[in-house]
Structure 1
Amino acid sequence: MAQSYATDLLHLIQGPPGTGKTLMLAHLAQLLAQDGLRVFVTALTHRAIHNALNKIPQVDANLPVCKIGEERLTGDLNVPNFETFDQSHFAEKSGGDVVGATPFALQSQRLANVEFDVVLFDEVSQITLPLAIMGMLAGSKYIFIGDENQLPPVTTFSETEAAQTSIFAYLAGRGQETMLNITYRLNDVLTDWPSRTFYKGELKASDEAASRRLNLSPEATRWDFVLDPDSPAVFLDLCHTNTTVRSRIEAEVVSELVLSLLMRDVAPQEIGVVVPYRAQSRLIRSLLRRILMDDEVNKKLVVDTVERMQGQEREVILVSFATASQKFAAQMADFLFQPQRLNVAVTRPRSKLILVGSHHMLKADEIVPEHKETMDMLRDLDRQLPDHHPAQRGYQRVKATRKQIANYYRLLISIMLK
């Protein structure tokens, strides 16, 4: 915080999952605006901008904050929005303020000829060098906040080339950076794998987060061997084969697990389902609507792709891989097993991670050997054993037996016939 606030030109903050980078952005915006400076908050997506702007009033409710952009794109925005800067009347006020918009707005009539003192970039791993320059032209001091181990820019380049196009990759390693190394989201077990795999073992869970475990009511369900709070991370191997962008059995099991969590008093807004493909998300949402038959509950449940889940968190996250075809997994390895994508997927939960898939997916590198390193990384997650965490069972790999799956289908049919 102090280094970013005091810098004369720029500073880079790496914020791994759950380390409070958005809260830090809000505090920085507050300090800078209190100094009478005009602060510009920007990111690649409207959702990221909204997330940053919404946090600022929680830090200082009296700070002038607004977004400049189209009214139709303000769905989850909690601060005022104006079509143009002139409509905001911020230009007539004395003192500092905070304005949010995309970099493109700077090159339009919305923010024409508006100058800023400081530019705060959020989610900079997704911002390309040209977009960053577009934003930098509006100010004279720059603070970049993000994480190169989360989703890179969306480009037509390969994974390696895409990572190199971000402003984060360009600035990293030049000595003007800080890494936030305490996660307030992930418990100790969930922190272990991303810390070792992406952050050189430096990421640690806070004291409060480390001991957090899933709190369940005493009702018993047939999926309690998966929901067990003493196993914060589970890979549920359904042993199916030959599925590609959607898997009916995974969707059905995920839906039943969601139902079991609800039966054990986990709030629907604390349950998230992450998938790689939209086809799988549509299938899961369709099944949940049929099983739950409660629009209010369904609205609170989140079933979405990795891209749209970045920046979000839930008490419980279920990941449905959908792909169980070794050949298809090999063809889609650059997308399906992209390290940053995996990192985002498995770091959304606070206390429970349930991976649902098939071990056949893990054999993709037998067809395409160049993906061995990535597949080894995923197999390392799968291989996490209790001896890594002697105080609890930690990561657990379980297979659903035929009897458990048969019992599940009987329950599902009975629910659908009611």
Structure 2
Amino acid sequence: MEKLSNEFESNNINILLNEQYRMNAKLMHWPNEVFYDNQLRANERVANITLSELCTTLPADHVFNNPIFMIDMAKVRDRSQEATDSHSFKNTDELKIITEYVNRLVCDLGINPKDIAVIAPYYAQIEEIRRFMPFHVDVNTVDAFQGHEREVVIFCIVRDNTESITEPICIEKSSIGFLNETRRLNVAVTRAKRQFVLVGNSKMMQRNGHLRKLYRHLKSAEVVFGPSVLDSFNHIDSAGLPPSDKAPDCSFR
């Protein structure tokens, strides 16, 4: 489709479908600016949808009701960095954060696991997440998730090699890997309907212009947090969750 679009660009036959019916307007902000020249608009039925509509125990002003936010690993002491595995990459601490967040969504908020997806750019990380994830959530690559959508999408950057970088501009491609193809992240962000969560090292995002713009957008919106933000779940009243016979099995906790 892209090849045909470019070939016939001068024939005035390309039409942009500029109204989207999937995601909260705040989720749309970054891809709209970077990829669509701010021509997209959110239909009024989805423009303000949030997680609190699915979970009555989640206050509308709670941090986890944000449609988009980042859990930044950059300042975590003794964090795991990327590790190679069969010519792929994985990151243990990002895996732990993702698993914990999904646990909290399901057990503390009562979100259906089928409404959650985890996306990663590397098969080694995907295999590890699938291995340790206690619930049946969709875990896959960016490319495999095209055409899909979920209420919540969690994306992990995986790559973390900042301490070895001395000339960022010269080694950009080797440091950030697949995410240099920013359209992959565009696909990941636009799969989410109510919430997109980015987990990774913000320093890695400085290696790519579009990723840097995304980070600056998140920072200006004050939705970049450290892993300790997960403690905020402890202040949510879970009294309104479904009866135990209808809720997911959280006994492992």
Decide whether the 8 Å contact of 1:194 with 1:343 is kept in 2: yes
Q: 1:265 and 1:403 mapped to 2: Cα distance? A: 16
Q: Which residue of 2 aligns with 1:355?
A: 198
Report SS of the residue matched to 1:317. strand
Report SS of the residue matched to 1:207. coil
Q: Which among 337, 341, 346 is matched to residue 189 of structure 2? A: 346
Q: Deviations over 1:127-169 (max 9, x none)?
A: xxxxxxxxxxxxxxxxxxxxxxxxxxxxxxxxxxxxxxx3333
* Aligned CA distance change for structure 1 residues 219 and 342 (closer, same or farther; 3 Å): closer
Q: Which residue of 2 aligns with 1:246?
A: 90
Task: List alignment gaps of at least 5 residues for structure 2.
Answer: 84-88, 166-170, 235-250
Superposition map of 1:142-161 within 5 A: none
Q: Which residue of 2 aligns with 1:384?
A: 217
Q: Deviations over 1:149-205 (max 9, x none)?
A: xxxxxxxxxxxxxxxxx3333233431111100010111101111111110110111
Q: 1:403 and 1:218 mapped to 2: Cα distance? A: 16
Q: Which residue of 1 aligns with 2:116?
A: 271
Decide whether the 8 Å contact of 2:155 with 2:188 is kept in 1: yes
* Aligned CA distance change for structure 1 residues 171 and 235 (closer, same or farther; 3 Å): same
Flag the structure with larger Rg: 1
Q: 1:273 and 1:385 mapped to 2: Cα distance? A: 20
Q: Which among 119, 136, 153 is matched to residue 317 of structure 1? A: 153
Q: Which among 38, 41, 47 is matched to residue 201 of structure 1? A: 38
Report SS of the residue matched to 1:210. coil
Q: Deviations over 1:271-296 (max 9, x none)?
A: 000100010010001011xxx3xxxx
Q: What TM-score does the superposition give when structure 1 sets the normalisation length?
A: 0.47
* Aligned CA distance change for structure 1 residues 334 and 256 (closer, same or farther; 3 Å): closer
Residue identity opposite 2:95 in structure 1: A
Report SS of the residue matched to 1:380. helix
Q: Which residue of 1 aligns with 2:227?
A: 400
Residue identity opposite 1:317 in structure 2: V
Shift of 1:217: 4.1
Higher relative contact order (CA 8 A, sep 6+): 2
* Aligned CA distance change for structure 1 residues 281 and 173 (closer, same or farther; 3 Å): farther
Report SS of the residue matched to 1:336. helix
Q: 1:251 and 1:340 mapped to 2: Cα distance? A: 23
Q: What TM-score does the superposition give when structure 2 sets the normalisation length?
A: 0.76
Q: 2:58 and 2:205 mapped to 1: Cα distance? A: 34
Comparing both structures, which one devotes a greater share of its residues to helix?
Answer: 1
Q: 1:401 and 1:214 mapped to 2: Cα distance? A: 20
Q: Which residue of 2 aligns with 1:136?
A: none
* Aligned CA distance change for structure 1 residues 234 and 329 (closer, same or farther; 3 Å): farther
Decide whether the 8 Å contact of 1:275 with 1:305 is kept in 2: yes
> Aligned pairs, how many?
216
Task: List alignment gaps of at least 5 residues for structure 1.
Answer: 1-123, 126-165, 365-374, 388-393, 408-414
Q: 1:339 and 1:323 mapped to 2: Cα distance? A: 14
Report SS of the residue matched to 1:351. strand
**RMSD of the alignment, in Å?**
2.9
Q: Does 1:234 align with 2:79?
A: no
Shift of 1:214: 1.1
Q: 2:102 and 2:157 mapped to 1: Cα distance? A: 16
Report SS of the residue matched to 1:179. coil
Q: Deviations over 1:293-330 (max 9, x none)?
A: xxxx51xx100000001110000000011111135864
* Aligned CA distance change for structure 1 residues 385 and 333 (closer, same or farther; 3 Å): closer
Decide whether the 8 Å contact of 1:329 with 1:361 is kept in 2: no
Shift of 1:401: 3.8
Decide whether the 8 Å contact of 2:30 with 2:214 is kept in 1: yes
Q: Does 1:218 align with 2:57?
A: yes
Report SS of the residue matched to 2:11. coil
